[in-house]
Structure 1
Amino acid sequence: MGRKVTLASCALNQWALDFEGNLLRILESIERAKAKGAKYRLGPELEICGFGCADHFYESDTFLHSFQVLAKLLTSPITEDIICDVGMPIMHKNVCYNCRVIFLNRKILLIRPKLLLAIRGNYREQRWFSPWSKRSRKLQVYFATLPVNSIEDFPHIPHQNLLLCEKGECMQSSLCFCLLSSSHIGMGLDGVEIFTNSSGSHHELRKAHLRVDLVKSATVKNGGIYVLANQKGCDGERLYYDGCSMIAINGNIVAQGSQFSMDDVEVITATLDLEDIRSYRTGLSSQNTMVASLRCRIVINILLRFCQDNKNKIQTITKRKHWQVIFSFSLGPACWLWDYLRRSGQAGFLLPLSGGIDSSATACIVFSMCCQVCLAVKDGSMRVCMYTVTYVYDQYITRFPPETLPQGKVSICICFFLYSLLHKTRSTFYNLLKANRKIYHINLNIDVAVKAIVGIFTVVTGKSPQFRAHGGSSRENLALQNVQARTRMLLAYLFAQLSLWAHGKRGGLLVLGSANVDESLRGYFTKYDCSSADINPIGGISKMDLRGFIQYCIENFQLTALRSIMSAPPTAELEPLRAGQVSQTDEADMGMTYAELSVYGRLRKIGACGPYSMFCKLIDMWKGICTPQQVAEKVKYFFRMYSINRHKMTTLTPAYHAENYSPDDNRFDLRPFLYNSAWSWQFRCIDKQVTKIESNITSSICEDLD
């Protein structure tokens, strides 16, 4: 006979504190789930108020408005005859909890608080919420506050880690971090057949497979159905939540949502047979003896025919999706930019192009965003089409005919600002822009502005600083480079604010930064220079990944003009040419390679290494490449430069988070910004270890000679 059940998992692009928009997206997802025959609908974590409210969780307004939205959901005819599982903050006995609210036909069945809170990396949940620690079987009661109390037929609501049951079928709701804790194992032994998990998991390079593997392993150990719903889009912060909701049974993924999408609402469903779970578990005889010793949980019965003889076919097992790092790199930051553009209400972007890999990669990310927008419009996405026409397209309607909007890979929302001190890079980018004639650009030389600023200094002091190439000192050389870099930033913002005004168009442009994560770690940039911008799509991405992305764009976007950029040495372009050749390269200026910087960054942040422990690890990693003394000098030089420039991290442009070794100050990387750059004690320990190693090597050589 079988016991078929249809479940729905939703990925929603919820905005922090956008209660009106969040309500509409939740209702739309419920309506879609019902249309597909689902009897249970799961949404992402804190979907009512938005996941990234941060210190707004201290405000009573956030709780009040969340309850007002819940009241709207309870009274809506759309939510009838389907179990709705929504996320919102709840205050219980003057303590704040991150909760799931499960309701059916105007009645709240259960409030399920989060047991384990994320307090690492980008997450600070214990700053606002408390974990639910009452593991006893005693039932807690939550007394509903207005406006919900006026709707409920009973004055109190169960508030506990309980099970929902209907004639033998058993379900357990959980939140995000519970997937890592393997709490589902105990639940499965307790008879739970359906595990649900609402999540707020962000995109990160080389992370996509982890979520899939965790969901598969959650049910392969002792069977069951696992339903995962995830937030999608930019929630007002540096993170991009990549959706990818999924449903699994007995270790197999049967339904999986898209990882990157311009759609704000995505609903996946699966019709599964609960008998498959029971037959799977009967074969796990080694675990059956553990079930008898478990203490039974309190359950809440639900008055809904959960399993029914519907016409939906059993979901067939889908093939697992594979993600390439460069592919996700192409789409993640692009979707993040699109969300930021929509929420800021601006007409497009302005990018200062310098002629190197960093600014080229930023341009390609915007190009990728435009491709995704055009594809979404062509596929009939009304939200994307509405915003494109309202905020972006009318700025360029005189330049691009209406028929070009849905079809080509058109940069409909970008204005390029091109400047360069080097004729070689200028011609390279001219060829790049010429290849796509629908990109608007300005060719500007900033020499006049730089000379005017330096002239003011000369008038006041009577001194005229010179570049090193012209006989100047290192201090003069650095100061003149900084003047150029900061002049670029001033002009970028001037053109961003007034370019559209000059063409009789309304609105402004967002300035894009293009400093990569390695240069930020080293502090290889000028404070308040052209790296200072509104947002930076590559600020959390390494130079090595950027090079791979440029190659991907050459092959997939047919931007062949990028080949010469790939072959050119990275340079800041702030010093004059010498005999017509580039006299300055980034790696020479930094005193280390980009590959070395990535290693330093991962050991410092992910490996939690200080100078001494980093030296000890690199001795083994670089054995045969560097001597112990060379490793010591490299480590000491890195930490010296890192500590001298750490204060620059406080001025970093908000950047797309993509790497776990990001040095983003006071947000992801909680380290001081003022150090004693001598590191005397630590460096002395390194020197002693070098002496010891060299002494052992000498002794070993002498023994061999004897």
Structure 2
Amino acid sequence: MGHLITVATCSLNQWALDFQGNHERIMQSIAEAKERGATLRVGPELEIPGYGCYDHFLEGDTVLHSWEVLAKILESDATIGIVCDIGMPVVHKNVIYNCRIIAHDRKILLIRPKMWLANDGNYRELRYFTPWAKHRQWEDHYLPRIIQAVTSQVKVPFGDAVISTKDTCIGVELCEELFTPASPHILMGLDGVEIFTNSSGSHHELRKLYTRVELIKEATLKLGGIYLYANQQGCDGDRLYYDGCALIAVNGRVVAQGSQFSLRDVEVVTATIDIEDVRAHRAKSSRSMQAASAERYHRVEVPFALSTGHLDEFREEDIVGLATSKAVDVHYHTPQQEIALGPACWLWDYLRRSRTQGYFVPLSGGIDSCATAVIVFSMCKLVSEASARGEQHVIADARRMTGEPEDSTYVPTDPREFCNKIFHTCYMGTENSSAETRNRAKDLAAAIGSYHVDLNMDTVVTSVRTLFAFVTGKAPRFRSNGGSNAENLALQNIQARLRMVLAYLFAQLLPWARGKNGGLLVLGSANVDESLRGYLTKYDCSSADINPIGGISKTDLKAFIAYGKDAFNLPILSSFLDAVPTAELEPITETYVQSDEADMGMTYDELSVFGRLRKVEKCGPYSMFTKLVHEWGSFLSPIQIAAKVKLFFFEHARNRHKMTTLTPSYHAESYSPDDNRFDLRPFLYNARFPWQFNKIDRVAGVLPDNSVRSETVGKPKVV
């Protein structure tokens, strides 16, 4: 064994523009790292202002307050005896950069700007920042006076440089730079950098963690080295949930992993590394040949050693506890567990930071509102478990939102009891509702402990219908009673929209009716597939304050409910899985019961395929058709596939306007149609796509029909 180095990375629950709270969490993470003997601490991307400031990054105040927070950190003892990697925006020569500030002993060693910016999907970094294009070059950056007064430095290096300590060399990589084909760690490693830091603001998406971990492992597998990955954790004030999972890897092996979903505001992950292991891993002829010709990085020298010294320098009794960290098996959650944990943590952050008293959801007796309610119950379970562990910030937030006095000793250790205090559900029935859905809603509420209200709203619906008839002299009828499609749709929509109005009324007044103060946030329960197809009423129960399932597919929600039945001991969930999805907005007759998939003209499994091809694989109508001819050609004819593709694009296009008013939803799926942030497309189309559809029809007419005529074959493969 040789020189041992204890390094620390962390996940912080930062909040956009919460400079006071962000400062406190940064200070706590540095203190914990030092307590564990770490001499290097890495924090998340843009941790001082919070990653999700968006256009606030263009405001001078955001940069000013970031410098003020940094000054407080530097004037304290935080950076004494430890190298700290801290993130904030910096204006250099009137250009805004996303930067890392490397500090030690109350001095700034280097400001390293981000070189490759994330600018797709949920990310718009090029809107606020400019990439540093001068690779392996640096300039002088003249510090603001508030920093000069603390550090006695007038200028510091700014650019693509590395830090050279007495015993090793540290290089910085920022989030997206790990995901690029030509990542900076390769060239830095060839020039002798042995420790790489990566500060990230990476959001949770179902099944995404594996990709991130593999990239981190691969970064040092061929190259050799120590890789420290830090990430934001929690709701930063928007649709995204940053899922933490700080990691430390050595030579392609993960030696420490933080939690992916947690209610903790600060989580520090440490590992003790033998730097000689890196040097041994790099003792390869081919690597040495490439390193010998590598271009040079400027090294900022610091008279400080990260290592505790060579073992020869220690007495035998001092060596106890200095063992290096060993490789660990990376823990991955199943998609069902991710749904149970990610949206639940996001809901908790949203609830405590909005300083409201709970949530309200209309329970329809269907699987979507059921999934929303179970996620809230999962949140209550996480709160109860954290409280039982004595996590005081969780207990304090729970006491505040439940209206407990300051001297209260209340601790929410029973999830059902806590759920009854902060979660309110309501079944809003009409003459078109069935006893089955009403009972399922009631039984689910009883199982999870929510405060439940059951009502009939026929008198409200009748009043609106009567008003319309009085004004126009015409009384609309359902299709089953001889009405037109326009009448039938309008009568369905008015029921849905009135439920939204009643939801907000009950959300505002239910706490008052229970003798409490404050109000509730209304939760939406439209899944990503319904939004993709436009199978929802504009300004109905899909309109809410936030929607925890708006980025989750129906297929994944059903798998989550099946998982929740046993994981949460909720046998009632079986009845939701067995039920046919229905809106229950039309009269039930002997020959007709409304069905979601029949109304949509496509199955939820098909919608998942359409959604991924459209968004992830960037397919227009024709390319989607050609792909599906190969994938579905064994059980559908080209003509049938063409009809399905055309119907999907027609319905998606003509309902696209609904996405402009979509409730802010937890982002969990890569094919989300959320117009507000993620899916930037027009909302007014020629929905008949004459050029594209005519080409599909011409090709479909001449392709051979290879479909198998079997009733047992015919389901699309869900990817």
Bin the TM-score by the shorter chain: over 0.9
Amino acid at match of 1:91: V
TM-score (norm 2): 0.94
User: Equivalent residue for 1:544?
Assistant: 555
Given that 1:12 and 1:265 are in contact with CA atoms closer than 8 Å, whether structure 2 keeps it comes out as yes
Change in 2 beyond 3 A, CA 1:280/1:575:
same
User: Equivalent residue for 2:87?
Assistant: 87
Structure 1 unpaired stretches of 5+:
698-706
Q: 2:328 aligns with which of 302, 307, 318?
A: 318
Secondary structure of 1:300 counterpart: strand
CA deviations 1:71-102 (Å, max 9, x no partner) are 00001123321111100000000000000001
Alignment of 1:278-317 (within 5 A): 278-282=279-283, 284-309=284-309, 312-317=322-327
User: Equivalent residue for 2:473?
Assistant: 462
Secondary structure of 1:79 counterpart: coil
Secondary structure of 2:272 counterpart: strand
Structure 2 unpaired stretches of 5+:
310-318, 708-719
Given that 1:378 and 1:407 are in contact with CA atoms closer than 8 Å, whether structure 2 keeps it comes out as no
Given the alignment of the two structures, is residue 423 of structure 1 paired with residue 435 of structure 2, yes or no? yes
User: Equivalent residue for 1:344?
Assistant: 354
Q: 1:434 aligns with which of 446, 449, 461?
A: 446
User: Equivalent residue for 2:312?
Assistant: none
Moved over 6 A (4+): 401-404
TM-score (norm 1): 0.95
Alignment of 1:434-513 (within 5 A): 434-436=446-448, 438-513=449-524
Given that 2:401 and 2:422 are in contact with CA atoms closer than 8 Å, whether structure 1 keeps it comes out as no
CA deviations 1:133-182 (Å, max 9, x no partner) are 01254x30100013112112221011011111122411101110111123
Distance 1:681 1:143 in 2: 58
Given the alignment of the two structures, is residue 364 of structure 1 paired with residue 374 of structure 2, yes or no? yes
Given that 2:247 and 2:257 are in contact with CA atoms closer than 8 Å, whether structure 1 keeps it comes out as yes
Secondary structure of 1:416 counterpart: strand
Amino acid at match of 1:518: D
Change in 2 beyond 3 A, CA 1:46/1:696:
closer
Secondary structure of 1:424 counterpart: helix
Distance 1:130 1:296 in 2: 24
User: Equivalent residue for 2:713?
Assistant: none
Given that 1:165 and 1:300 are in contact with CA atoms closer than 8 Å, whether structure 2 keeps it comes out as yes
Alignment of 1:42-53 (within 5 A): 42-53=42-53
What is the total number of aligned residue pairs between the two structures?
689
Given the alignment of the two structures, is residue 150 of structure 1 paired with residue 159 of structure 2, yes or no? no
Amino acid at match of 1:692: V
Distance 1:505 1:413 in 2: 11
Amino acid at match of 2:91: M
Given that 2:635 and 2:706 are in contact with CA atoms closer than 8 Å, whether structure 1 keeps it comes out as no
Amino acid at match of 1:672: P
Alignment of 1:25-424 (within 5 A): 25-137=25-137, 139-181=138-180, 182-282=183-283, 284-309=284-309, 312-392=322-402, 394=404, 405-410=412-417, 411=419, 412-420=421-429, 421-424=433-436
Change in 2 beyond 3 A, CA 1:423/1:111:
same
Given that 1:393 and 1:413 are in contact with CA atoms closer than 8 Å, whether structure 2 keeps it comes out as no
Distance 2:649 2:703 in 1: 22
Given that 1:37 and 1:312 are in contact with CA atoms closer than 8 Å, whether structure 2 keeps it comes out as no
Amino acid at match of 1:576: P
Change in 2 beyond 3 A, CA 1:404/1:278:
closer
Given that 2:383 and 2:415 are in contact with CA atoms closer than 8 Å, whether structure 1 keeps it comes out as no
Distance 2:339 2:483 in 1: 42
Distance 2:28 2:282 in 1: 36
Given the alignment of the two structures, is residue 518 of structure 1 paired with residue 529 of structure 2, yes or no? yes
Change in 2 beyond 3 A, CA 1:695/1:232:
closer
- Identical amino acids, percent of aligned pairs: 54
Amino acid at match of 1:234: C
Amino acid at match of 1:222: L
Given that 1:193 and 1:277 are in contact with CA atoms closer than 8 Å, whether structure 2 keeps it comes out as yes
How far residue 474 of structure 1 moved from its aligned partner, in angstroms, is 1.4
Given that 2:256 and 2:270 are in contact with CA atoms closer than 8 Å, whether structure 1 keeps it comes out as yes
How far residue 696 of structure 1 moved from its aligned partner, in angstroms, is 12
How far residue 550 of structure 1 moved from its aligned partner, in angstroms, is 0.6
User: Equivalent residue for 1:23?
Assistant: 23
User: Equivalent residue for 1:674?
Assistant: 684
How far residue 666 of structure 1 moved from its aligned partner, in angstroms, is 3.9
Given that 2:638 and 2:701 are in contact with CA atoms closer than 8 Å, whether structure 1 keeps it comes out as no
Secondary structure of 2:515 counterpart: coil
How far residue 460 of structure 1 moved from its aligned partner, in angstroms, is 0.8
How far residue 295 of structure 1 moved from its aligned partner, in angstroms, is 2.5
Amino acid at match of 2:442: Y
Change in 2 beyond 3 A, CA 1:402/1:418:
farther
How far residue 408 of structure 1 moved from its aligned partner, in angstroms, is 4.5
Distance 1:39 1:572 in 2: 59
In angstroms, what is the RMSD of aligned CA positions? 1.7
Secondary structure of 1:201 counterpart: coil
Given that 1:611 and 1:636 are in contact with CA atoms closer than 8 Å, whether structure 2 keeps it comes out as yes
How far residue 459 of structure 1 moved from its aligned partner, in angstroms, is 0.7
Secondary structure of 1:77 counterpart: coil
Given that 2:364 and 2:441 are in contact with CA atoms closer than 8 Å, whether structure 1 keeps it comes out as no
Change in 2 beyond 3 A, CA 1:184/1:473:
same
Distance 2:367 2:489 in 1: 22
After TM superposition, the structure 1 stretch with the greater mean CA deviation from structure 2, 351-360 or 316-325, is: 316-325
User: Equivalent residue for 1:702?
Assistant: none
Amino acid at match of 1:325: P
Distance 1:695 1:531 in 2: 41
Distance 2:203 2:269 in 1: 19
Distance 2:128 2:574 in 1: 49
How far residue 417 of structure 1 moved from its aligned partner, in angstroms, is 1.7
Amino acid at match of 2:143: A
Given the alignment of the two structures, is residue 605 of structure 1 paired with residue 606 of structure 2, yes or no? no
Change in 2 beyond 3 A, CA 1:390/1:582:
farther
How far residue 486 of structure 1 moved from its aligned partner, in angstroms, is 0.4
Given that 2:634 and 2:706 are in contact with CA atoms closer than 8 Å, whether structure 1 keeps it comes out as no
User: Equivalent residue for 1:532?
Assistant: 543
Change in 2 beyond 3 A, CA 1:408/1:118:
closer
Distance 1:654 1:45 in 2: 24
Amino acid at match of 1:54: Y
Distance 1:650 1:2 in 2: 60
Distance 1:314 1:367 in 2: 41
How far residue 495 of structure 1 moved from its aligned partner, in angstroms, is 0.6
